[in-house]
């Protein structure tokens, strides 16, 4: 479920960097979940990868919260750009006259 939302965020993003960032972060989360689920069901051997948001160690939990925070930032930016009126452009700080 989380991976589907992450990939949907990647589709909503407007610029290439945001698309790649959201796709990469979602892939990291999906691979981590796949390894844990595969290890629990004995499809693959267990490794030292911790379960997202459930592990006892602090570094894994912090890393996963950073991952989610970056996805939320990309999602918020994409939604704000999508909701801007079409005729309204971003404010430009270019001078009105040539100073040369």
Per-residue pLDDT of the chain (100 residues; tens, 9 = 90+): 778 999 999 998 988 999 999 999 999 989 888 888 888 888 888 766 666 666 666 777 788 889 999 999 999 998 888 887 655 555 555 555 556 5
Which pTM does this prediction carry? 0.69
pLDDT at 19: 93
pLDDT at 84: 74
pLDDT at 57: 64
Among residues 92, 88, 95, 72, the alpha carbon closest in space to that of 6 is found at 72
pLDDT at 83: 82
Place of tokens 């009105």: 96
- Chain centre to alpha carbon of residue 91: 27
In the 8-state DSSP scheme, what is residue 39? H
């Amino acid at each position: 479920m989380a991976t589907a939302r992450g990939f949907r965020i990647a589709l909503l993003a407007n610029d290439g960097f945001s698309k790649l960032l959201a796709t990469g972060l979602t892939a990291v989360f999906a691979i981590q979940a796949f390894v844990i689920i595969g290890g629990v069901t004995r499809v693959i051997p267990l490794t030292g990868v911790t379960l997202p948001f459930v592990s006892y160690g602090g570094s894994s939990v912090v890393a996963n919260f950073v991952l989610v925070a970056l996805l939320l930032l990309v999602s918020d930016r994409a939604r704000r750009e999508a909701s801007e009126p079409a005729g309204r452009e971003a404010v430009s700080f270019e001078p009105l006259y040539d100073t040369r």
